[in-house]
Amino acid sequence: MVVVSSDTRRSPIKGFFGIFNTKGSSRRPSPRPGTRRFAHTRKEWLTSSRIYRLVMVVVCVLVCWLTATLSFARIQRGQKRSRKKRYPSHPRYIACHFDGGPLSRINIIKRLDPHMDLYPTKRPILMSDHELEAQAAALSGKKSGKGMQEVFETDECKAQYDWQLTSYPTCAKIHEFDLTDEVKLINNGYWRDVFLLNDFDGAPQILKMMRYEHGFEGRNYDRHRRDALAMERLTESPHILDIYGFCGNSGLFQFSDGGDLHDAIWSESKDKKILTKLDRLHLASQVSIGVADMHNVDKEGQASIAHTDITPTQFLLIDGFYKLNDFNRARFIRWNRHEDKPCTYRVGNNPGKFRSPEEYNYFNQTEKVDVYSMGNIFYALLTEFWPFEDMKEENAIEMVKKGKTPHIPITVRNSTDILDKVLLNAISMCWIKNPEERATARHVADYLTTKLKDLDPDLEA
């Protein structure tokens, strides 16, 4: 009979946990030679060692997987925070990018004096098929309001003129100016900063560059394409500000040192010029001619451009005339493919107190929104009040939506002065709620011009 020592009576489980013993119990056991238990003990040791290694491998895999998962989760949270903060890419230079197609070559390089020469045919930038497809994909998406370029041509509406689809960038002209030279920041709008700089001959010019807080996105590129294109088309009108160059979101414009119409009406300067009633009528006439020239740039009686942001600050004094500028909110009027008439449009955000009922109601809109806003400028010239001046914006908007108009003091409303009556009549022509019944800008301009000729003998023919 073989006697088995009690030292060798260890269960596999106990032997397994023994591998973690710091006294060396994990080493291979040394059974007494000649016992039948030797083979079993060796198998136990081999089994315990394999299990230990397997467990350690599994633990390492789990640790690596958990670490990777936590790291990925942190990255995702960081990306979400970045998207919420909306950190768009901002180039450190002004540039315009082309697709390298056959239209990318420059056909004409010429510097023009807008008062002495006509613009020649320049290189059009046409949209490729994949760009048009990208626009169509954004038509019904919410992204169209978050940086995507708006779709212009649809199954129902097409471009009224080919120029509405093109662009004439002159990036070389913009790049001639070194922003490290004497460049002065003099103003800013919502979208762009305004810098004063000098041309090579010392002539002052204005460079507008998009403010850093806005994203360099398709929607903004198209916004400033429309601004430059509209002003280029309107160069022949002496009542529209001149443009000298355009690239990306930047533009080079005519300089004004006389302030805007807002300054003329509500100037805080000690040297403020007192506006006579005849002066006010002259200013109203200049405003109406500028708006009329814009609407009828291609064909008299058929608008192709709507400004959609007519306020006193949009008219700058240059050479004795107030000129309309800033077309980055403009809309190009399309043509209905089926009904052979102009298409309407909608603008998705219409704040302020200077707008028409159809804008505040977010109805279909036409160029007549500019005529209604023009009536508000006449109101300011006549009364020196801002529309609904003592009312909160949201309340003023509700009033306009219902067809209510700003209050005109009874002394002005019942005035017997012919100059007051002319402006009152012009206001009533503009403040008609139904845009189809509202006067056109040309109608108002002709009315004011005719009255001025009768009332001002010194007016040049």
Asked if the model's pLDDT at residue 60 lies above 50, the reply is: yes
What is the predicted pLDDT for the residue at 150?
82
| The 3-state secondary structure of 277-345, one letter per residue | HHHHHHHHHHHHHHHHHHHCCCECCECCEECCCCCHHHEEEECCEEEECCCCCCEECEEECCCCCECCE
Residues in the chain: 461
| Residue from 11, 14, 41 nearest 28 by CA | 41
Q: Report the chain's mean pLDDT, rounded to a whole number.
A: 81
Task: Grade residue 78 by pLDDT with cuts at 50, 70 and 90.
Answer: low
pLDDT exceeds cutoff 70 at 297: yes
CB 140 within 8 A of CB 283: no
State the amino acid at position 452 in one-letter form. Answer: L
What's the pLDDT tens digit per position in 385-425? 999 999 999 999 999 999 999 999 999 999 999 999 999 99
Predicted TM-score (pTM) of the model is 0.70
- Give the domain ranges of the chain: 114-255, 259-461
Higher-pLDDT residue of 151, 451: 451
Structure tokens at 307: 């400004």
User: What is the pLDDT, as a whole number, of residue 178?
Assistant: 80
Place of tokens 């006193």: 312
Q: Does domain 114-255 have CATH number 3.30.200.20?
A: yes
pLDDT at site 256: 92
- Hey, how many other C-beta atoms are within 10 angstroms of the C-beta on 304? 23
Query: What's the pLDDT at 42?
Result: 60
Model confidence at 6, in pLDDT bands (50, 70, 90)? very low
The fourth-level CATH superfamily of domain 259-461 is Transferase(Phosphotransferase) domain 1 (1.10.510.10)
What are 111-139's pLDDT values in tens digits? 444 444 444 444 455 666 666 665 555 54
Residue 84: band (very low, low, confident or very high) from pLDDT cuts 50, 70, 90: very low
Cα radius of gyration rounded to whole Å, the chain: 37
At position 132, the amino acid (one-letter code) is L
Model pLDDT for residues 313-364, shown as the tens digit of each residue: 999 999 999 999 999 999 999 999 999 999 999 998 999 999 999 999 999 9
296-to-78, 93, 150, 292 alpha-carbon distances in Å: 52, 36, 24, 6
Quick one: which of 415, 403, 311 has its CA closest to 354?
A: 311
